[in-house]
Amino acid sequence: MPIPAKYLFFIMLLPFALASCATHNGVQPAEKAAEKPAAPATLPFKSTAVPPKTIDKELLFNYLAGEISVQRGAWEAAYEHLLLAAKEAKDAVAASKAARLAWRQDDMKRATRATKLWIEYDPNALSARQLAMLAALRNDDMDTALEQAHAMLLIAKARGKDGFLLLSSALATTKNRNKLLLIQDIAHQYAGDARAQYALALVSSQEKEFTTALQALDEAQKIDPQWDKPYLLRVQIFAMQGDEAGAEKLLREAADKYPSPALLEAYGRLLMQQKHYEEALKYFRKALDLNPKDHELLYVVGVLALQTRDWDLARSTWEQLRDNPRYHKEEEAWYFLGQLEELRGNLRQATENYNKIKAGRLRNDAQIRT
C-alpha cells in the first residue's frame, strides 16, 4: 500500500532525530577517527561475588539442562536451571539468559529476581540496568526505576557513551506511562544538561505530549543552540502535528543557520522528495564538504549530479567511489559511469564501462543497456 504523502516528511526525518549525533561536541566523524584511544575509564560499580574455583556435577547439570531446555522451548525449566547455575557459579551470563527468558514470558516477578542476580554479578552491565529499570516501571516501583536510570547514566559516562540517549531509547521500548514521570524527574535533576532535556523531549514526543516536548527542546537549545538534534526533533514534531509548512521552514532555517551534516542532509532529502534536484545537490555538497569521508553522502551527490546533468561533478564523484577500496561497490560505480557516458551520447565509452561489471545485482541491467 503506498505511503500517504503527509507521512513521508515524518518518515524521512525519523532516522535523523533518533540517530546519535557526532557533532554535539563540535567533533566531526573524520576528526574522531584521528583521536588517540582514550585510557580505559574506571567503572562506577564493583562486584563482590566470588565464583567457585571448580565446577561440580550439579552445576554442570544445571548449565546443560538449561541450554537443552532453551533449545526445546521449555522456557520455565530453562529459567529454573539457568537461575540455579547463575546462583552457584555467580555467573552473570546465566543470570542474563534467565532474566531474558522470564521477560519473554512476561513474568516480571521472575525477571526481577534474575536481573537482581545479573546486576550483583556484573553491576556495570547496561543491559541489566535497563531491564531492571523497565521491570520496575512495570511494577510501579518508581524509586527502583530511578535508581537504575541513574546507574545507567553513571555507567554510560564511564564508558564514554551518551547515557541520556541510551535511557530514552530504552524507554521507547515500553508503553508504560510511568516512563514520562521518570524522564521528567531525570531532566529536572540534570536541568543544565542539553542531552537530558532532549531525552525528555524525545520520550514526550513519542507519547504525543507535544507541549512538554517543545518546552524541553526550548531548554536544550538555550543550553546548546548549535546542537542539531533538537532542531531535527522539533521539525519532526511539527510534521507529526500536521504542520508541514512550518516543519519545512524550520528545517531550512536551521540548515542555513547551523549547517551540520545531519541538518544539511535532512533538508537535502526533503528537496529530493520534492524533486528540487539542483537545490538538493547544493545542500548535499555542503554536507559533504563538512564530512568528506562519508560514502553515502558522496553516493547521493553522484546520483544528483547525473540527475542535474552536472557531468564533471558526476564523473569525479563516481571515479572517487570506484577508486576507493573502502567503498566496496566498484561495479556500482562502473554502472553509473556507464550511465554518465550513455546520457552524454558517448555510447562506445558507455559500453566499455558497462562491460566492467562482471558480477552483482547490476550485471544483468548493464548487459541489457549494453
Average pLDDT, the chain: 89
pTM summary value: 0.79
The reply to whether 292-370 shares the fold of 43-161 is yes
- Give exposure, 261-288, as e/b (b: 16+ Cβ within 10 Å): bbbbbbbbbbbbeeeebebbbebbbbbb
Q: Are 342 and 350 in contact (CB under 8 A)?
A: yes
Distance between CA atoms of 250 and 204, rounded to whole angstroms?
20
Of residues 12 and 350, more confidently modeled:
350
The burial of 36, by beta-carbon neighbours within 10 Å (0-12 exposed, 13-18 middle, 19 or more buried), is given as exposed
Q: How far apart are CA 79 and CA 90, in angstroms?
A: 15
Domain layout of the chain by residue ranges: 43-161, 292-370
CA pair distance 24, 296, nearest whole angstrom: 21
Q: Give the tens place of pLDDT for each residue, 212-254.
A: 999 999 999 999 999 999 999 999 999 999 999 999 999 999 9
As a whole number of angstroms, the distance between CA 103 and CA 132 comes to 11
Confidence label for 289 from pLDDT (cuts 50, 70 and 90) = very high
Residue 325 has pLDDT above 90, yes or no: no
Of the candidates 23, 283, 157, the residue with the CA atom closest to the CA atom of residue 166: 157
Between CA 35 and CA 18, with CA 227 as vertex, the angle to 5 degrees is 90
Give per-residue pLDDT as tens, 92-116.
999 999 999 999 999 999 999 999 9
Residue-wise pLDDT for 161-188, tens only, equals: 999 999 999 999 999 889 999 999 999 9
The pLDDT score that the predictor gives to residue 36 is 52
Measured distance CA(90)–CA(116) in Å, rounded: 12
Under the banding of pLDDT at 50, 70 and 90, the label for residue 327 is: confident
- Could you name the CATH architecture of 43-161? Alpha Horseshoe (1.25)
Q: How far is CA 10 from CA 20, 230, 235, in A?
A: 18, 15, 9
Please provide residue 358's backbone torsions phi and psi, each rounded to the nearest 5 degrees: -100, -15
Residues 50, 56, 58, 59: is their CA dihedral positive or negative? positive
* % the chain with pLDDT above 90: 82
Residue 193 φ/ψ region, left for φ over 0, alpha for ψ in the -120 to 50 degree band, beta for the rest: beta
Q: Please state, in angstroms and rounded to a whole number, the distance separating the CA atoms of residues 97 and 117.
A: 11
> What is the chain's percent helix, strand, coil content, to nearest 5?
70, 0, 30
CB atoms within 10 A of CB 33: 8
Write out pLDDT tens, residues 246-280. 999 999 999 999 999 999 999 999 999 999 999 99
DSSP class of residue 20 equals -
Calpha distance 171→182 (Å, rounded): 9
How many angstroms separate the first and last alpha carbons of the chain?
Answer: 34
What integer is the mean pLDDT of 59-74?
A: 94
What does the pLDDT look like over 14-49, one tens digit per residue? 445 444 333 343 333 333 444 455 556 799 999 888
**What is the CATH code for 292-370?**
1.25.40
Residue type, 62: N
> Residue 52: is its pLDDT beyond 70?
yes
Give the pLDDT score at 6.
Answer: 42
The DSSP result for 310-363, as a single string, is -HHHHHHHHHHHHH-TTT--HHHHHHHHHHHHHHHT-HHHHHHHHTT--SSTTH
